[in-house]
Structure 1
Amino acid sequence: MNQNSNLKNKFKKELQTLLQSIIIVTVRDALHSYLNLAEATKIRLHAEFNTLSFMAGCFRFVKRKRL
């Protein structure tokens, strides 16, 4: 009976370790995906900001030429 109890406890610990590992890997992968998305968004926003700044500069240049 004691041996059976020891096997159950060992199995529970192994299962707990496995589940913890799965959770850690899942959270890590989700975080990496989020950070990759955030980086892509940052790059896209930076490009849009540069485009808008360039267009504003062109608009000011054209406006000055007309005056």
Structure 2
Amino acid sequence: MHAGFSAIGLHAKRFIGRRFTDASVQSDIKLWPFKVIAGPGDKSTIVVQYKGEEKQVAAEVLETSIEYA
């Protein structure tokens, strides 16, 4: 899956601090143009392509990166 960072940033705020197994996260995953997986501690983790490599990034980290880019 591929989505621009701005699109990911708009949606990432919706699941910051929410567990991957949260019902609202599971419902929203179906609508998002990017992949979300369960990370350490059941945190919602975004899968992104960066310089040709797949990276797993916590929503909080991604949101901070976008704000200061």
The interval holding the TM-score normalised by the smaller chain is under 0.3
TM-score, structure 2 length as denominator?
A: 0.22
* Larger RCO, structures 1/2 (Cα 8 Å, 6+ apart): 2
Between structures 1 and 2, the one with greater helix share? 1
Considering only CA atoms, is the larger Rg found in Structure 1 or Structure 2?
A: 1
Q: From the two aligned structures, give the one with the greater strand fraction.
A: 2
TM-score (norm 1): 0.22
